Amino acid sequence: MGKLTEEAAPPLQLRGLAVHAGLIDEAGQAAMAEDIRQVVRVVPMRAPVTPSGRKMSVRMSAAGDLGWVSDAGGYRYSARHHSGIPWPPIPASVLRVWELVSGCRRPPDSCLINLYGEGARMGMHRDADEACLDWPVVSVSLGDDALFRIGNLQRGGRTESVWLHSGDVVVMGGEARLRYHGIDRIRFGSSKLLCNGGRLNLTLRVAG
């Protein structure tokens, strides 16, 4: 089973985000990817449709009490997948990451699962639909490298970018929690972790 590496260096700080590079070793990444495969066997990935009717390039599913769904009625947190099936519990391997880096005693109630295939991206947006915005968001990257962009509290202005790699963990807390951010592109095929290539991103949240 994998390990969460004892960090020699403090995390990289970028506009209030903490980037823990290489926190999860290869065995840990493989175990986590397998745990997520079990989840999406129950609640399959789907490509959300935006309120404007466009299909997103990222495919999504979730684990925990609440997941993210989108339909003609818009986006919202929901206790069930579109099929009506409740989201499976958040895997213990993923909860361990939250315990290590979040600084919260409270466990997350939501793990959103994003899958980026070749050419997928996520436009600049902010996450503000959670009931309380004081809790951090913890993100785990698995598979292909991704170019992550972080901006400001308002749309526009200067941004900074960082490549995220498999096993990296990012914590968004405090002032960083409401910053605009997105994924410009992935380097499809840069990692061998996922059999079909691509990138999995897990975001742990207190949503309810």
What residues numbered 171-200 form the site for ligand MD3, per CB under 6 A?
A: 172, 176-177, 179, 181, 183
The contact mask relative to Fe ion for 84-123 (x = CB under 5 A, - = no) is ----------------------------------------
Q: Which of 64, 65, 93, 127 binds Fe ion (CB under 5 A)?
A: 127
170 binds, among ligand MD3, Fe ion, none (CB under 5 to 8 A by kind): ligand MD3
Burial (CB count within 10 angstroms: exposed 0-12, middle 13-18, buried 19+), residue 175: exposed
Using CA atoms, how far apart are residues 169 and 175, in angstroms rounded to an integer?
18
CB 121 to ligand MD3: min, Å: 10
Contacts of 14 (CB under 8 A, 6+ apart): 150, 160, 162
Residue closer to ligand MD3 (CB basis): 30 or 178: 178
Radius of gyration of the chain (CA): 16
Using rule CB under 6 A, residue 114 touches ligand MD3: yes
Secondary element (H or E) of residue 99: helix 92-101
Q: For residue 51, what is the DSSP state? A: T
Using CA atoms, how far apart are residues 107 and 101, in angstroms rounded to an integer?
12
Using CB under 6 A, list all residues that contact ligand MD3.
Answer: 112, 114, 122, 127, 137, 139, 146, 170, 172, 176-177, 179, 181, 183, 201, 203
